[in-house]
Structure 1
Amino acid sequence: MASQDILIGIDAGTSVIKAVAFDLDGRQLAVASTPNTVRLGADGAAEQDLAGTWADTAATLRALGEQLPGLAERTAAIAATAQGDGTWLIDAAGEPVGPAMLWLDGRSAPQVRALRASPAAAPLAERSGTALNPSMQSSHLLWLRERQPERLARAATALHCKDWLYFRFTGERATSPCEGVFTFGAWRSRAYDDETLALLGLADLKRLLPPIVDGTRHHAPLTPQAAADCGLRAGTPVVLPIMDVPATVLGGGGVAFDREGRLRRVGCSILGSTGMHGWVSDRPEDIRPSAEAGYTMLMPLPGAQARLMSHMAATLNIDWLLALLTDALRLAGAAPPAKGELLQRLNAMVLEAAPAQAVFHPYIADNGERGPFVDGDARAQLTGFNTTLGLAGTARAVFEGICLAARDCYSALGPLPEEIRLSGGAARSPALRQLLASVTGRPVRVSHREECGAAGAAICAAVGIGLLPDVAAALPGWVDAQLGEELTPPDAQHSALYDDLFPVYQDLAARGRPAWQRLAGLRAAHRPTSPNTAQDSRA
């Protein structure tokens, strides 16, 4: 048998499924990807097909095997992280019970509003460490019980995306401590919690919850059928890692120790289509849950958890801006350049533009906002401009808005971290790197690792099969070696301006909420009836 010198990390995102091969020292060897499809409905639905997600994952692994000869024999272990939250129901036979409800699904917003307005909201946040929002499986189950009870009656297990893939790989029904606890548990006990379920009003659905499995201590063999589907070797160890966000925090440099071996307060910002910001701590006194917003996610380190705040749309705002520019060029009869070239020009324009010509709130996601406040009706707004605001000033306002949203999330978590490690698509943007540093007043260090989530999953696999004694042992080679040595410092003059602008940004957002609610009512009253449409959506 060939030497087993490869770890496979899978990151099954909302729009793209990636399979990445790493050597045992953390060097990326090859990557394969397959587009994913989201079915969006006018009622706020965002769904994916369970069987299709498995088929696409298997196809991605087969494609990876075409790049690396002998992959099946060389693979030491597999771990698949995936998009978080959401609800993936299966029956007693392991067959899907309808489509998956994704984290993007907004149909449970009324149930969330009612529960957040109830006396249960504060004790729920205190016990679970997480504020309820429409992305979570708990809110989906409340909606399903009210609107589609027959689906719940047929269901035997409620999984998340990575859990579904683990089930298809191994036949085991399980979830990780990360999602299991922040959704249905108590972060201090690191287990399911009956009081949390009672506060949610879901005690009767405890039967749907799979066992919680720590992937750094447990693995299961790849079944013969899954091996045939994926082009891999039956019996290959499969590890259930943490979900995509904490996996990216781990792979992207959000876990750092000082010389005495204590965890540092290092910020980690993941700016992809959505934005996630926070830090990791093993000190319980650092965790101050809020009923308004935020997650507490258990990390695969003794007593450690990530305190995180997410805003729904980050680079989605830039995609919207690029689409507008493309439409304008076509309207003018010009052929638009390739997206990469257009984005490069946009970055240069933003860096040259004067700061703070207008205030942009980047709430462009269809299901509103979830951090640092939860409001399914929130919508993007451009405020404070006049006739002198040109394209460059508008573009800069959009980029600034993404960074102001990041600062808003960090501020809700407590004191700003000493340094911010940046990963995700935005890490490649010079404008966003500089503006994030200036808006937060903190230096920004970029992770050059292209697939941080898959790397975080592969680290869990390495620990799970005993190649590494613990996660900390992986950091020098897998994480620290991928961090840029240079930090992007804040622009002192611009930082002073943004310090003054930030409370204005927050005040305008607070004042916008009654108007967003009224607009949502108008849209609902005049919404045309239309069938669900399938389209690509990026995580």
Structure 2
Amino acid sequence: MLIAAVDVGSARARAGLFTPDGQLVARTSRGFDTRHASDGQAGFVFAEIWQAVSDALAEARQQAGTAPERIGALAFDATCSLVVDAPGFAPDVIAWHDHRAVAEAAELSDIAHEVVSRAGGAVSPEMQTPRLIWLRRHRPDIWANLRGIRDLGDHLAFRATGIATRSHCAAAAKWPWLPDQGGWAEDLLTRLGIADFPHAEPVLLTGAAIGPLTEPAAAELGLTRSCVVASGMIDAFAGALGAAPGMPALIAGTSNCIMALDVPVGPALWGPYPGAILPDEAVTEAGQSATGALLEWVRRQYPDAQTHDQITARLARMPEPGAGLHVLPDFKGNRAPFADPLMRGVVHGMGLDRGQAAMDALYWRAAVGIALGTRQVIDHMGLTPARLGMAGGQARTALMRQLYADATGAEIHWQPDDAVLRGTAIAAAAPRAGGLRAARDRFARPATVTAPDPQGQARRGRDWAVFLRMQQQRDEILNMTKD
């Protein structure tokens, strides 16, 4: 039997096939589009995501040379995008990075409630409660006709099985659901006027069996009805499960997240969320928005088409470029430590040259700024980790792993076989493997370890001093320009 894992990110659906002992035998991906609109709005079309999932799974089966009936388990992870299942709402998925609900998030943040406390005291517009408020106020026609409203990963599982459930991970981390205090915060929902949204589905722990594929879903995914779907996770949580156990995890993809245990409630910290990954642990998340998206934006400015791998391979062969160039990477707001979705980035020392060398320098210095932001998040969480398990697209190259080691002072432990897909495969395998922890132990692989380099640490130390000073200057300028 093979185990299938599907990871739906910001622009691509990735599929992986694993053996029961955790060996990755195939990995593929297919893209889908983002619809951008005014006022910070962005969305996806669920049908396009589903088609990308189907195509990725079909190619993975072909790559592995396996028959559909050999795949007996499946789980999904996804960004915390919101699927609005209602006639007339298009695009029908509100993207995770959509900021239409900034005002609603600010209003919610002023309410003294445990849900707000676990959101760091300043609710992000990327969470689902402010989006529910926005829909109720701005689209009452849609609200009145909701058939369902779910996290993207949960809706993928619903589309696959026909069984409506919610994942414990998404419910605890992004919705007004308190697993250690009885579940849904009905008092808050009533106060906000949104208690009537559909939310009667059972909430399942990560790795709990939901049920087999429906006949139509099996046909669309190229699988059989004997394939059982398990409850999945938000993508960053899947990466934390699949990364090296026993240490905090750095998920460095489209955004950066630090996931750690035993972190108390604090400003700009998301959590702790009991059972969001393993049932007997509470995890806290803090991070940076749109970090990988910033590198992608820089990539698109090159005069000639470039891939991230081409750029980083070139950077690894040259002396460190970009002397005098410094970047604050908050181009899509700041999650931690400032919890300000309206904060914006800063570039100091940029010239007019747009040739390849100049763009290489900007790419590298943006990466340095992102890594320094990760250091600041770790400090804000009160952590001094000697080791970090790393996952996500930014972890693919030795250059980036060395950068994070030098910026944070921690050893970087990286599993080459894709920790995010691995974490989701662990969830898929859990019903037949004796539980989530047993499946994780079975799937564990040796990690590649990158130690901090003293010379690199010295360079990042100088950059750190500039980074902090630029933040102070940004604050001073904002105070000078306030009405």
Aligned partner letter, 1:421: G
Matched, 1:104 2:104: no
Q: Please, what is the CA RMSD of the aligned residues? A: 3.0
Aligned partners of 2:133 and 2:413: how far apart in 1?
41
Matched, 1:411 2:375: no
- Tell me how far 1:59 sits from its aligned partner: 2.7
User: Which residue, out of 273, 280, 294, partners 1:317?
Assistant: 294
For residues 246-261 of structure 1, the aligned pairs below 5 Å read 246-253=237-244, 255-256=245-246
- Tell me how far 1:79 sits from its aligned partner: 0.7
Does the CA-based 8 Å contact 1:378-1:516 persist in structure 2? no
Aligned partners of 1:287 and 1:139: how far apart in 2?
24
Equivalent position of 1:526 in the other structure: none
Does the CA-based 8 Å contact 2:315-2:364 persist in structure 1? no
Equivalent position of 1:454 in the other structure: 421
- Tell me how far 1:476 sits from its aligned partner: 4.3
In structure 2, do the counterparts of structure 1 residues 374 and 15 end up closer, same or farther at CA, with 3 Å as the change threshold? same
Does the CA-based 8 Å contact 1:125-1:289 persist in structure 2? no
Does the CA-based 8 Å contact 2:402-2:450 persist in structure 1? no
Matched, 1:43 2:39: yes
Aligned partners of 2:186 and 2:451: how far apart in 1?
46
Aligned partner letter, 1:159: R
- Tell me how far 1:309 sits from its aligned partner: 1.0
- Tell me how far 1:353 sits from its aligned partner: 4.1
Residue 198 of structure 2 aligns to a residue in which SS?
helix
- Tell me how far 1:151 sits from its aligned partner: 0.5
User: Which residue, out of 213, 232, 253, partners 1:241?
Assistant: 232
- Tell me how far 1:514 sits from its aligned partner: 5.2
Equivalent position of 2:59 in the other structure: 63
Residue 188 of structure 1 aligns to a residue in which SS?
helix
Which sits farther off after the overlay, 421-430 or 508-517?
Answer: 508-517
Matched, 1:272 2:253: yes
Does the CA-based 8 Å contact 1:186-1:196 persist in structure 2? no
Aligned partners of 1:225 and 1:370: how far apart in 2?
40
Aligned partners of 1:306 and 1:56: how far apart in 2?
31
Matched, 1:379 2:351: no
Residue 278 of structure 1 aligns to a residue in which SS?
strand
User: Which residue, out of 186, 200, 204, partners 2:178?
Assistant: 186
Aligned partners of 1:517 and 1:192: how far apart in 2?
40
Matched, 1:137 2:103: no
Aligned partners of 1:228 and 1:128: how far apart in 2?
40
Equivalent position of 1:466 in the other structure: 432
Matched, 1:89 2:84: yes
Matched, 1:342 2:311: yes
In structure 2, do the counterparts of structure 1 residues 466 and 442 end up closer, same or farther at CA, with 3 Å as the change threshold? same
In structure 2, do the counterparts of structure 1 residues 470 and 204 end up closer, same or farther at CA, with 3 Å as the change threshold? closer
Does the CA-based 8 Å contact 1:132-1:293 persist in structure 2? no
Aligned partner letter, 1:150: D
Aligned partners of 1:33 and 1:75: how far apart in 2?
18
Residue 299 of structure 2 aligns to a residue in which SS?
helix
Q: Deviations over 1:409-448 (max 9, x none)?
A: 2122122322122222221334432232222222222221
Does the CA-based 8 Å contact 1:125-1:131 persist in structure 2? yes
Gaps of 5+ in 2: none
Equivalent position of 1:75 in the other structure: 71
- Tell me how far 1:208 sits from its aligned partner: 3.8
- Tell me how far 1:396 sits from its aligned partner: 4.3
Aligned partners of 2:482 and 2:16: how far apart in 1?
43
Does the CA-based 8 Å contact 2:208-2:231 persist in structure 1? no
Task: Output the TM-score relative to the length of structure 2.
Answer: 0.88
Equivalent position of 1:535 in the other structure: none
Aligned partners of 1:164 and 1:323: how far apart in 2?
32
Q: Deviations over 1:94-139 (max 9, x none)?
A: x7854111111111112222332x243x643335677411111111
Aligned partners of 1:210 and 1:234: how far apart in 2?
23
Q: Deviations over 1:263-309 (max 9, x none)?
A: xxx22111122111231x2x4xx32243x453444433232122111
Equivalent position of 2:335 in the other structure: 370
Aligned partner letter, 1:341: Q
Does the CA-based 8 Å contact 2:105-2:123 persist in structure 1? yes
Q: Deviations over 1:438-462 (max 9, x none)?
A: 2222222222123x22211110111
Aligned partner letter, 2:106: R
In structure 2, do the counterparts of structure 1 residues 181 and 502 end up closer, same or farther at CA, with 3 Å as the change threshold? same
In structure 2, do the counterparts of structure 1 residues 129 and 375 end up closer, same or farther at CA, with 3 Å as the change threshold? closer
In structure 2, do the counterparts of structure 1 residues 154 and 18 end up closer, same or farther at CA, with 3 Å as the change threshold? same
Aligned partners of 2:141 and 2:99: how far apart in 1?
20
Task: Output the TM-score relative to the length of structure 1.
Answer: 0.80
Q: Deviations over 1:289-340 (max 9, x none)?
A: 43x453444433232122111211223232333333x22xxxxxxx666653
Matched, 1:426 2:394: yes
Does the CA-based 8 Å contact 1:422-1:446 persist in structure 2? yes
Equivalent position of 2:283 in the other structure: 306
In structure 2, do the counterparts of structure 1 residues 202 and 60 end up closer, same or farther at CA, with 3 Å as the change threshold? farther
Residue 407 of structure 2 aligns to a residue in which SS?
helix
Aligned partners of 1:408 and 1:345: how far apart in 2?
28
Which sits farther off after the overlay, 498-507 or 242-251?
Answer: 498-507
- Tell me how far 1:38 sits from its aligned partner: 0.8
Aligned partners of 2:437 and 2:451: how far apart in 1?
23
- Tell me how far 1:492 sits from its aligned partner: 4.6
Residue 144 of structure 2 aligns to a residue in which SS?
helix
In structure 2, do the counterparts of structure 1 residues 395 and 232 end up closer, same or farther at CA, with 3 Å as the change threshold? closer
Which sits farther off after the overlay, 170-179 or 414-423?
Answer: 414-423
Equivalent position of 1:14 in the other structure: 10
In structure 2, do the counterparts of structure 1 residues 247 and 444 end up closer, same or farther at CA, with 3 Å as the change threshold? same
User: Which residue, out of 395, 404, 411, partners 1:443?
Assistant: 411
Equivalent position of 1:125 in the other structure: 116
Matched, 1:487 2:463: no
Greater RCO (Cα-Cα under 8 Å, separation 6 or more): 1
User: Which residue, out of 206, 212, 216, partners 1:225?
Assistant: 216
Does the CA-based 8 Å contact 1:277-1:309 persist in structure 2? yes
Aligned partner letter, 2:294: N
Aligned partners of 2:380 and 2:188: how far apart in 1?
23
Alignment: residue pair count: 475
- Tell me how far 1:488 sits from its aligned partner: 4.1
- Tell me how far 1:207 sits from its aligned partner: 3.5
Residue 269 of structure 1 aligns to a residue in which SS?
strand
Equivalent position of 1:147 in the other structure: 138
- Tell me how far 1:192 sits from its aligned partner: 2.3
Q: Deviations over 1:457-482 (max 9, x none)?
A: 1101111x222x23333344423x24
Which sits farther off after the overlay, 311-320 or 150-159?
Answer: 311-320
Aligned partners of 2:85 and 2:119: how far apart in 1?
25
Aligned partner letter, 2:98: D
- Tell me how far 1:515 sits from its aligned partner: 7.7
Q: Deviations over 1:353-393 (max 9, x none)?
A: 487x343111233xx33333333322221237799xx9476
